[in-house]
Structure 1
């Protein structure tokens, strides 16, 4: 009789432990694979959302999944520059020409890299070195937009076993018309 009670208690304890392990495993799986996925339509109200109607160079551009556009930094292994950041910086510095510009500040270009490595939905922001809104010389803006948008291949982010769409930005720090830094 006592042996039956002991086996029953051991069975209940082992069963409870298995249920807890299964629950923790299911929670861990959810956190790893589903908790980072955005809800449908979530990006339309977030700061990084780029409205396709306001963006430029959007005619032939399509995202692979409008409801799941991630940030480029969700993938930590590599930045989306196809030839690496140094290759991108070398390309910009080789082709950029300071035409006696006196502008200083940050010229930011935000865009989306789709799952195929193509870029589109470009939008620009201009700030002085104190990050206050300012307008840059129109020729300088045109030159930086042309250089950035002429890059036709980017490295799509790889997340959850698949290439994904991602928001990306390139910020040019400019001092007296010279590019002093390219971020990120």
Structure 2
């Protein structure tokens, strides 16, 4: 009887053993943009390795860093005459990385309606705003503790009746 009890205990403890699963590697920060060879420029280089922390544009007291500030972007957009005939309403956000040389890459776009639900407002307008955002060349490199860094930036275009009514942030 003792042997049977011992065998049952041993069998149940062996059955409860599980093989170790590999630890899942999470991004250094929520929202990190991973390189995608299908859509990203292979010549765009990060200054900080991909697995290290990326700063957001607001991580230092200088905030938004563009030559001429946001007004320069607004003026350039006004000259571009970008609009949609579809009279759509919502938001188009373009998020990207500015590297330590003030070059931009890893662009991602999200469209939402006025109820903040992800949707497709207008792909033609989205592509025009993406091209416009890629053309902006006045980004200023950021430094933290004397070291130039990469940082994430975004521009959100508020769309009212098919036209950009405001740029956020």
2:90 matched residue in structure 1: 105
Q: Which residue of 2 aligns with 1:80?
A: 65
Residues 1:169 and 2:167 are matched in the alignment: no
Distance 1:127 1:54 in 2: 26
- Equivalent position SS for 1:86: helix
Displacement of 1:57 in angstroms is 3.6
Structure 2 Cα separation of the partners of residues 174 and 125 of structure 1: 13
Q: How does 1:15-164 map to 2 (within 5 A)?
A: 44=27, 46-53=29-36, 56-66=39-49, 67-164=52-149
Conserved? CA contact 1:103–1:137, under 8 Å: yes
Distance 1:60 1:153 in 2: 19
Conserved? CA contact 2:57–2:63, under 8 Å: no
Residues of 2 paired with 1:129 and 1:181: CA distance? 14
Q: Distance in 2 between matches of 1:77 and 1:103?
A: 34
- TM-score, normalised to structure 2, is 0.77
Return the offset for 1:56: 3.2
Which consecutive unaligned segments of at least 5 residues does structure 1 have? 1-41
Q: Distance in 1 between matches of 2:85 and 2:95?
A: 26
Give the TM-score taking structure 1 as reference length: 0.71
Q: Which structure dedicates a bigger proportion of its chain to helix?
A: 1
Which whole-Å CA distance do the structure 1 matches of 2:102 and 2:82 have between them?
Answer: 27
Contact 2:91 2:114 in 1 (8 A): yes
Paired residues in the alignment total 143
Range moving further from structure 2, 63-72 or 105-114 = 63-72
Instruction: Using the TM superposition, give the Cα deviation of residue 176 of structure 1 relative to its aligned residue in structure 2, in angstroms.
Output: 1.0
CA displacement at 1:97 relative to structure 2:
2.6
- Could you tell me how far apart the structure 1 residues matched to 2:34 and 2:59 are? 21
